[in-house]
Structure 1
């Protein structure tokens, strides 16, 4: 068990609020900053982080997680940010954690879930002192392609027939094309509605406002692989084998190709863990997949004891 407290610290032009959990220990401990996924993710990443945090703290690792801009106690608005803004926030969180008494700064690294994995990859490439990075359910392709996969699996899982899925994906593709031309929300909406849309797909677009549309446009073609190629530290890639939001097999291939690229730094080793039957949050029947917590903790511990 350890001590947990609410904290605030300076992000990149914003004030970030989060939770810091530190193990009971007589000597300094390693640490990890946990960065949540897409949308308005808070310090608990919608209930995903607490069990992971508790296990890491019990294993002697300090954990800092925080509310994304404009969420919970953090100022600003994530919809007004770029990926570089979010990466700068993660870097500030890393410096804050490293500056705490009892934390071994030199072996404190980054963990990102889903979109947060792209954030921590970018944060890692912007500096030379990140000792290791973990990406959890993070796509290896551009977000437009990942979201298209998620849309297709969602609709098929909801029972939509092949014709309906094809019509929905055509509407999705029209929106992406409009975003790539920097179209405004009104034009994107016209493109979305340019052909009949199956009723089950209407909700995909119904809640998007102008600020979120601008954020979506900035994110559409972000590719995490160039950042993976620039890594100078070990990387752990984790996927649920039954992830319906991210094509896990293709993403593993892309991260592996980056790791074997002749330009990849020799320090940037790659470890891949895939948990069969687990979903995007690496859950099976509502709980973390068997072996997940032990595998994560073992890998982090191995890279903090060196």
Structure 2
């Protein structure tokens, strides 16, 4: 069994941006696999709130090195994620990948990408830039555009709040109008006027909370990002993990879209697709009210990585599922 080291702080460059993160490398005699963990939406740090540390521990115990980092403008990283594009965030993931590959105790040819939620879009885009990526994992990563995904999440939040069908219809119509405004290049002031005319911020609940000019600009740039062209261009195995009760992501639609992409003519022979849907699990693939990982989630992750890198599988197998 590898020893369990403490994660230590690291810094690396992505263009003109300095990214800060945490690196944990198992105390194994021979070099092992590695994974770069990319967080979800908003100002996510290297721990993605409290979500990443338990996954990091599990991976390290399975003999897999882990690097996660603060998003641009978060924690100790420079820049600002609100000024970024998906391509910029993907470039950061690639920089993290290259950095991890140079660390002692890490096999350069066995380092892949793990993206949670929005991070799924990011790592799929990053994967298209590399011919040497051994694998990619999306964890609650939608196969739809952000606009479609957020509409799905808004509808579920309205239902949870007990909104009447008429009120839900009003909110969705306002949301659709905002998406159209973003496509036309409307500024924040115009969008705010739309919201006021459509019933005020409370009509959209959390979707409009904290909205300002810079956040509006970021969301407008991102809203029509389609991950499927990136999926079509994959040249490595892809593991897609979902919680069956995820209320933020259209899971059934995402599985259908990924399966369709996997059957597309001309698909690269290495671009296999593995989908795991964990019944009753939420957006963080947790059960029991979000208290603990869904049964088999973390073991499925480490075992899949181990099977594709010939490392880490033995520790995962000893723990069982």
User: 1:158 Cα shift?
Assistant: 1.5
Partner of 2:198: 195
Q: How does 1:194-273 map to 2 (within 5 A)?
A: 194-196=197-199, 199=202, 201-273=204-276
1:2–1:58: 8 Å Cα contact kept in structure 2?
no
Structure-2 separation of matches of 1:203 and 1:287:
25
What is the CA distance between 1:103 and its match in structure 2? Answer: 0.4
- TM-fit CA distance, 1:114: 0.7
Match among 34, 38, 52 for residue 35 of structure 1: 38
Distance 1:126 1:40 in 2: 25
Confirm or deny that 1:291 pairs with 2:309: no
1:70·1:78 contact (CA, 8 Å) conserved in 2? yes
Aligned mates of 1:39, 1:86 — CA distance in 2: 12
2:153 matches 1:157: no
Is 1:136 matched up with 2:139? yes
Could you tell me how far apart the structure 2 residues matched to 1:100 and 1:199 are?
49
The residue aligned with 1:16 is 19
Provide the rounded CA distance (Å) in 2 between the counterparts of 1:171 and 1:197: 10
User: What's the TM-score once normalised by structure 1's chain length?
Assistant: 0.97
SS in 1 for 2:32: coil
Offset of residue 202 of structure 1? 4.7
What RMSD, in angstroms, separates the aligned Cα atoms of the two structures? 1.2
Structure 1 contact 235–271 (Cα < 8 Å) conserved? yes
2:124 to 105, 121, 125: 121
Uncovered stretches (5+) of structure 2, i.e. residues with no partner: 312-321
Aligned to 1:92: 95
| Alpha-carbon distance change, 132 to 293 in structure 1, aligned in 2, over 3 angstroms | same
Q: Could you report, residue by residue, the CA deviation over 1:21-79 in whole angstroms, capped at 9, with x for unpaired residues?
A: 11111111110000000100110011111110000000000000000000000000000
Contact 1:167 1:198 in 2 (8 A): no
Deviation of 1:197 after TM superposition, in Å, equals: 5.0
- Hey, what's the Cα distance between the residues in 2 that align with 1:295 and 1:130? 20
Report Cα offsets for 1:93-120 as digits up to 9, x if no partner.
Answer: 0000000011001011000001101100
Runs of 4+ in 1 over 6 A off after TM superposition: none
* Contact 1:67/1:74 (8 A) holds in 2: yes
Query: Which ranges in structure 1 are unaligned for 5 or more consecutive residues?
Result: none
Q: 1:178 corresponds to which residue? A: 181
Tell me if 1:104 matches 2:107: yes
For 2:98 and 2:222, the matched residues in 1 are separated by: 26
> 144, 149, 154: which is aligned to 1:146?
149
2:285 is the alignment partner of 1:282: yes
Specify the alignment match of 1:304 in structure 2: 309
